[in-house]
Amino acid sequence: MKKILFPIIIMCWMTSVSAQNLTHYKAIVKELSSAKYQGRGYEKNGVVKAGKYVAEEFRRSGVSEVTFQPFTVNINTFPGDLEMSVDGKKLRPGADFVMREYSPGSHGSYPLFYVDTLHYDSKRLFEELEKPEHKDAFVVCDFWFTYRHSADFKRLQSKDGCQNAGLIYTWDTPLKFYLAYADKVVAKPIIWVSADFPKDAKNIQVNIEQKMLENFESSNVIAKVSGERHDSCYVFTAHYDHLGRLGRSLYFPGANDNASGTAAIITLAEHYARHKPLFDVYFIAFAGEDSGLHGSTFFVEHPLFPLRSIRYLFNLDMIGDNNPIQYCEVSDPGITGFALMQQLNESHHYFKAFSRGVLAANSDHYPFAEREVPCIMFENEQGDAFIHYHTANDNWKNAIFTTYEPIFKLVTDYVEEVSIPKR
């Protein structure tokens, strides 16, 4: 009887541990995406509050040490009034319009000028805009058309390029807000609007407050679990910052982007604190990712341990989804390790397949890849949560947890596999 019960007890205990990790993981995602942190951005110190919470969660997990690495950024924000009407009809922030992150504020009533994209002539466009009846107009055009004629529209954005007051670009829904170029402010406001923006409106009324925050201080949060050996290490990273607020009432919760990855590295820290690793393991929660990889760039320029000591770095960004095809990007020195991950995936069926993309400056692995660190970025694209990317609907209500456990098992199995002495 005891021989039968013992395996059952062990199996129940293992199931309980797995469930507990998932429960803790969900609790962290829910907390970080709550209104308390206001989108983990710069208004109301959301990112600073979130950094303190992440540090406390690392401490509670039982790690050897936790360190703050402060750095500063200049960041453009829209903390106050954010109002826009078209011919008297009020539009909704986040749903009907968003600001381009490097826009100045704007206040007043302005005529609208629609670009003729079917019979486009650059010279004629500027001649028309210099006419008195179009003075101080907001120029309206489809975004992708402006992308194809970027030189003309950059001129329209400049102070001396034309007498227009601003630009309105139509964009597919859902509208998305970005911070990647928020360290500057251009001469004229740029507003992205939904595709159903009126095609023949006469004027707009705007009341948009903007504030540039100079030398705003936030911090990378670094935790360490000491291993049996200290000559090299593994690193798990995720960014805990997000987009923050847009206006007085709208904030971006960022449940998938990237409370999901942050929660994962905290539970990984908990795992390794309970199961002493062979090599040291670091867990880095970066700030400043959504505003241009500021935190990870600062770290590689001021590393707290030698970059050459990194055996492999795993960057977890937006893993809260349900696509069975796992997207990834791999540095050149990380190819050998990726081949082993593919073998492990074939044996254990974590995912249906991997989709390896071109290495790009789209997340915190990139500054490490530029310095020849073996690394991989996991990001679950095209799942049901991805449609909410960079919108206010990336929230707890729409959170998905399907890919957490496969990622957790893949990376921990990889570290265990390469740490076993070969005979």
CATH match of 25-76+214-419 with 3.30.365.10: no
Q: What is the pLDDT of residue 173?
A: 87
Q: Which residue has the tokens 């910052």?
A: 241
Same fold for the pair 25-76+214-419 and 81-208: no
| Count of C-beta atoms within a 10 Å radius of residue 301 | 10
Domains of the chain, by residue range, sit at 25-76+214-419, 81-208
389: left (phi over 0), alpha (psi -120 to 50) or beta: beta
Q: What is the pLDDT of residue 161?
A: 79
Query: Contact at 8 Å (CB) between 25 and 263?
Result: yes
Beta partners for residue 377, in sequence order: 315, 329
Q: What is the pLDDT of residue 26?
A: 97
CATH T-level fold of 81-208: Glucose Oxidase; domain 1 (3.50.30)
Q: What is the pLDDT of residue 3?
A: 39
Q: What is the pLDDT of residue 13?
A: 34
Closest by Cα among 346, 312, 315 to 328: 315
Quick: pLDDT tens for 261-306. Answer: 999 999 999 999 999 999 999 999 999 999 999 999 999 999 999 9
DSSP 346: H
Query: Contact at 8 Å (CB) between 373 and 159?
Result: no
Q: What is the pLDDT of residue 420?
A: 66
Residue ranges in the chain modelled with pLDDT below 50: 1-19, 422-423
Quick: pLDDT tens for 106-141. Answer: 999 999 999 999 999 999 999 999 999 999 999 999
Q: What is the pLDDT of residue 10?
A: 32
Q: What is the largest CA-CA distance in the chain?
A: 95
Residue 64: its H or E element? none
